[in-house]
Chain A
Amino acid sequence: MEIIIPRRNVIWAYVIVGFFALVSVVTLAIHEYYIYLSAYLWFGFIYGMCLQYGRFCFASAFRDLFAVGVPRMVVGIMIATFLFAITSALVAATGWSTFHAAPVSIHSAIAGLIFGVGMVFAGGCASGSLYKTGEGNGVSLLVILSISVTQSLFVDWGGILNKFVPAAWHESALQKGLPDVINVGDGWVDQYLAGYVWNQPVKTYAQSMGMKDDTLIGALLGNTFVGVLIPALIILAIVYVFWVRKNYVKKLQAEDNRSITFKDHLNGFWGMIMASKRTSIAGLLLGIACGLQMFVIEGLRMKFGVKNAGTLLTRLGHDYGISANGTVFDPGYWYVTTQEAQWVGWTLHKLGMNNMDNIYFGWVNGIPSPAINPADWMSVALIGGAAVMALLHGEFKFKAPTRELAFWAILGGFFMGIGSRLALGCNVGAFFVRTANGDMSGWLFGLGMIGGAYIGVKIFNWYTERKMAKEMAGFDFDL
């Protein structure tokens, strides 16, 4: 397939890179602390390039498996997660990891289910929607807006939602000793977090085996081998047996009419792994980059003597939107949904709505200006990196959403927004990063996503079948 790249695409690619380079140079000229922002920015740029190159979308993993029998993305994600697990393990063993495991309980799976339905409707996961925005896709931009608005409103809403808070959550939340300004007794998400989630255990596979996360043996044997490699191989084996084996055997027998051996199946399994080189390469690079980012951010924290970017921003004289804890959202690794919520949260707060009286913004993540929010630049640069890759491959195209697609985008983004707040993360933050670092809540969220994808595909199949039947009604087909 020969593709001719217009010269203007190359020029625009240079403009985008030049813009981000300018941001880095100018901010660094103001103060060396802004290297922290640049570190997030350029890792985001790399993620964007990898995602677009590999068509890397967590939504398509099980959606395309269930909908059209294509295992490409399941394989890609398992590869990326395993490689990220290795780099994470090596980083963890140096003691320089930024990762912190999240509370684990059934809420992870329920949140994953809601998120999984949403990402099928939306046509992409949280990170997938970002990179597709970089391709000029207006539907994906609408998804991001929907996720952002939903999250920002959901984390602050009390009122009638308070009626759906169990009394035990309310009582437990009040006992957490949070400052009055947070008003923890008002707000469904506040009471869910402080009254339920924070009471759940935090567990990694290494810890459950009596090992420490920051030792090589704990990180590699516990979190990588037991926590990632074994489950990933099980999933891939299931995918091979139920989705790939039949057609593979059919092809083999058509070429060479003989009985199939176990070695043939091993070859078939390996063929499934290597089927999409682009996806595998993207997975490899993502895994390495994700681990490296943790190392770099922790190194910068040590260099500047801080635990959170909020301290740096305060030292620089930026005190707007810093949480009551003195912190801002600063995960130290790849993350997607919180900075999206912050865009809207900051905007609404500027417009007069008090968005700092809840745990999410007011106690933990803050709502600093997007212009100096490091995690925000990671997402903006992700879009930019994807745009550069799309431009250089002739794949950039502005596409405005139709009303039909806008409906699915907004609905999908809504479910993804709810699911990501319930799980304290999305396909990246709640699944990819946590799973790779041995956090048990990661696979739980992932299983929920699989269930959600299944439900979403069922609904989509019904919807598209009706449309297809209408369109093909006049033809001589068995409908």
Chain B
Amino acid sequence: MDNVVSATQNDATPETIKPLYTAKDFSSGQDVRWCPGCGDFSILAQVQRSFPQLIGEKKENIVFISGIGCSSRFPYYMNTYGYHTIHGRAAAIASGVKTANPSLSVWMATGDGDCLSIGGNHFIHLLRRNIDINVLLFNNKIYGLTKGQASPTSSHGAVTKSTPAGNIEYPVNPISLALGMNGTFIARSIDKDTKHLQEMIIRSYKHTGTSFLEVFQNCVIFNDGVYDLYTNKETRDDNVIKIEHGKPLLFGKDNSKGIKLDGWKPIVLDLTDGKNSVNDVLVYDETSKELAFIMSSFAENPSLPIPIGVFLCVENRPTYDSDMEAQIKKAQGNAEGDVEELLKGNAYWEI
């Protein structure tokens, strides 16, 4: 093991040591085949830029698993181990990889159709089991690869190729779903907020257990502008709120607004009217599931800003993969069982 790695193990601060890799080391060099202007480019770039900061994690230990869809081409562009599997099953295959070899850093790239529609069952059980996998959900609220049908996150009323008269379904709230499945790390970011996205990728990595990161991603062809409200310079400050642990929930230009709870009901405070100050604003606690649920419900309330950041992060739950290893170690004691004895069993006879 080289010096860089052992330095990390001695808890040296990341700033003092040289990363093992540069962003370029994570590029596979294959032609990237997304449509020009696709939000996926930004996600790929932020992953490649943030990965050198996963100090000590060797490239060969990183595995990307994906399902089917535009987002699922992701592994081909990463110079790590990768497996582009079948529609909806990335969570199941990733679960097998991580359970079989918990020493790997397993990442899953998926989309709203892949993860929440055809793969919904695997996704919810992944969260419930808390397998130490990092899930990147590219949510563009549309089926892109099949050219523009409604997805499970498409808004009610959305006109798409499969809903020409408007969508009569109501969308999944991925954050609420993950909370309901007892997820232990639940976060959201936006493709265009590159710095925030990098920060969230690193936080996902650092969490032990299933990390779920929803990324608002713009589909330039079939759903262009769906997140404009959150990305346009003119509107984003009033419509996006960054959640940060231990900090007041402020938003708006120059943090002119804040969130406070009136009972269980979140309300917006105007901090410029002289009546309220930052001291009246709710201070966020990312270990509170109650707060996380309240923040996740903002997505359904147009009068509230959309939260990005870490909704929930709890570190005290053991992972499925480590518990399985522990059961095996316990059963084995000092030595692995003798298979010959197993084959013989207790009720044998000799002829």
Tell me whether A and B are bound partners.
no
B residues sitting closer than 8 Å to A (CB atoms) are none
